[in-house]
Chain A
Amino acid sequence: MSDPRAAGVPILSVHEVRFRHHGAATALFEDLSLHVAPGEFLGVIGPNGSGKTTLLRLLAGVAGPAGGEVRLAGRPIRTIAPPERARQVAVVFQETRVLFNFSVLEIALMGRAPRLGRWGMERPEDFAAARAALAEMDLADQEDRHLHELSSGERQRALIARALAQEPRIVLMDEPTAFLDLKHRLQIYAILTRLNRDRGLTVVATSHDLNLAARYGSRLVLLHKGRVAADGPPASVLTAARIREVYETEARVERDAATGAPYVVPIAPVR
């Protein structure tokens, strides 16, 4: 699964993409290319400002590149009608605040919007899909609560439920565990792994937590200064030399006896 060529047509691919933030002096990406194979669990890592979130926005088709293109199953993603794109790709952004007093069920139902006519009301099957997604996220008994009353872990899960209610082929997650405690971090990753394994859902998740990314990702992409600095199985990407170069941090890389995944122990910033 880690080699996209072995899996046939990539489900998402980035071709020679150029991107510059509005008003920025230099380009973030000059010539970025990478592939996501169907059914893989790809972890995107890299220091602050390396372009993880932007890569995710480009993959989601919510931002357009200045040059090159992103393709969804071979089709340029920016030429696909937004609702059709949204039936295939769901995104959970870092921003988890929602204005106004929407309930958890209403949030999950928002995931059904791409499957409804422009002005139609939600049908019974939409309620069923939204409730199934909430059950998957352990929120079945919370559907009447307002989103802003929830803890950050519950809120994050509600937004993942919205993504699942979209019944997508691909879920993109930006730092899905950024504000979560230990238990909820593991819980979110365990759920993603299960969906990936049982349903063949393709997952792309950015993370600052190298050890979580290494443990759950079948493949890691390390971004550095707008380039792919390394791409491959976690053990080949996470080496002490590369962490020193990219994160400017001295680290020891061990092997977790229980999971077999590489395990990074940071020691000190490089002076």
Chain B
Amino acid sequence: MPPLTARRLWVSIGLLSAGFAACVMVCASIGSSHHTLLDLLRQDGGGETAAATILRIRLPRILMAALAGAALGASGAVFQAVLRNPLADPYILGVSGGAALGAFLATAAGLQALAPVLPVREAAAFLGAAATVGSLFLLSSAGGRLLSYPMLLIGVIMNTVYLAVILLIETVVDFTRLHGVRLWMIGSIPIEGYGLVGGLSVLLVLGVAGLSLSGRDLNLLSAGEDAARSLGVTVERTRLVTVLLASLVTAAVVSVAGPIGFVGLIVPHAARLVFGPDHRLLVPASALTGAIFLMTADTAARTVMAPTEIPVGVITALCGGPFFLWLYRRQGGGGYFE
């Protein structure tokens, strides 16, 4: 693939945005009740049920799924570059789990009462995510180098501990809610009001734009820390800024939808195959691809066994687990991985 040019950057983002818009329209027309977007265009607006189903139930959920997918896709691409680990993903590394624990603790402590004034749940999720990334850096570096496999192992362990803590607290507080917590922990897209969806959209667009602007530094980091430094990158600052931004967008969606697995792993690799490795395009492309992927997965989640719903995390895990193993096995071939 030829190197990235401004033309290819904007054409790719334009095409992906068009694909995204088309996907929103298709997903909004699929559901257990057979209303489609076309109903809304009819003289009578398709009747009240069509409008209510599509605008108040399906669309907010579709947009929420898109936001979650965008956040996880973009932060997956960033974590893979910054941690120099192609198997990294906010879920596998425990970043999503940390965010989930933070959000859960804030709720369990009754801090939700402050929610109209302060975004306590989101802030607690961010603290959990940032603390997890901080520990990952501390625990998996040796002699100034980050070690790939210890990092994954530590992420798995942290995930397990987080889940245990959440289940323990829920058992002590109110064990009848355990089932609900378990469902939330695998990730599912709730139907939220447009206020929250709008707020998250603003945060995400700014976050993904900020991360994309670090794209060249992320490219140079792929060549190694010292190489990046010798090419003029201030590695520590780039790391701090990108990791905090990626944790922030991850935490924001996890506090709403729970820790959805593997989106951040699959999406950047798929996007890299189509759009190339340059992070100036890869980061926004992963955001849009992630949005399309999770919207589609969530539409499947709410329709394939309708009226029973599958948590979307089940679908992403069923796709993602085998994908991870395939990717891991591929490491034997060539220096694609470290």
* Beta-carbon contact of B232 and A101 below 8 Å: no
* Residue in B1, B6, B223, B232 whose beta carbon sits within 8 Å of that of A82 in the complex: B232
* Residue in A98, A99, A101, A105 whose beta carbon sits within 8 Å of that of B3 in the complex: A105
Bitwise, A91-116 to B at CB < 8 A (1) or not (0) is: 10101011111110111011101101
Known A82-B234, A148-B336; contact A102-B229, beta-carbon cutoff 8 A: no
Q: Which residues of A contact B278 (CB under 8 A)?
A: 106
* Beta-carbon contact of A109 and B3 below 8 Å: yes
Say yes or no: is A144 at the interface (Cβ < 8 Å to chain B). Answer: yes
Say yes or no: is A220 at the interface (Cβ < 8 Å to chain B). Answer: no
Nearest B residue to A86 via CB reads B232
A130 to B29, CA, bound (A): 50
Nearest A residue to B223 via CB reads A98
* Residue in A60, A98, A100, A103 whose beta carbon sits within 8 Å of that of B224 in the complex: A98
Instruction: Give A116 Cβ to nearest chain B Cβ, in Å.
Output: 8
Say yes or no: is B35 at the interface (Cβ < 8 Å to chain A). Answer: no
Interface residues of A in 112-135 (CB under 8 A from B): 113-114, 116, 118-119, 121-122, 127
Nearest A residue to B4 via CB reads A121
Instruction: Give B174 Cβ to nearest chain A Cβ, in Å.
Output: 46
- By the criterion of a CB under 8 Å from any partner CB, how many residues of chain A are at the interface? 45
Interface residues of B in 120-135 (CB under 8 A from A): none
Known A119-B213, A119-B216; contact A144-B334, beta-carbon cutoff 8 A: no
Nearest B residue to A152 via CB reads B335
* Residue in A82, A95, A149 whose beta carbon sits within 8 Å of that of B229 in the complex: A82
A86 to B227, CA, bound (A): 10
Interface residues of A in 61-96 (CB under 8 A from B): 61-62, 82-87, 89-91, 93, 95
* Beta-carbon contact of A101 and B336 below 8 Å: yes
Known A100-B336, A122-B3; contact A93-B277, beta-carbon cutoff 8 A: no
Instruction: Give B207 Cβ to nearest chain A Cβ, in Å.
Output: 17
Known A106-B3, A109-B3, A121-B5; contact A95-B230, beta-carbon cutoff 8 A: no
Known A22-B144, A62-B229; contact A121-B6, beta-carbon cutoff 8 A: yes
Nearest B residue to A117 via CB reads B216
A107 to B233, CA, bound (A): 15
Q: Which residues of B contact A57 (CB under 8 A)?
A: 226
A103 to B84, CA, bound (A): 18
Across the A-B interface, the 5 shortest Cβ-Cβ residue pairs: A148-B335, A86-B232, A83-B232, A62-B229, A100-B277
Mind listing 18 A-B residue pairs with CB under 8 Å?
A82-B229, A82-B233, A86-B230, A91-B227, A91-B230, A97-B338, A99-B80, A99-B81, A99-B222, A100-B272, A105-B2, A105-B3, A109-B3, A110-B220, A113-B220, A121-B4, A121-B9, A144-B2
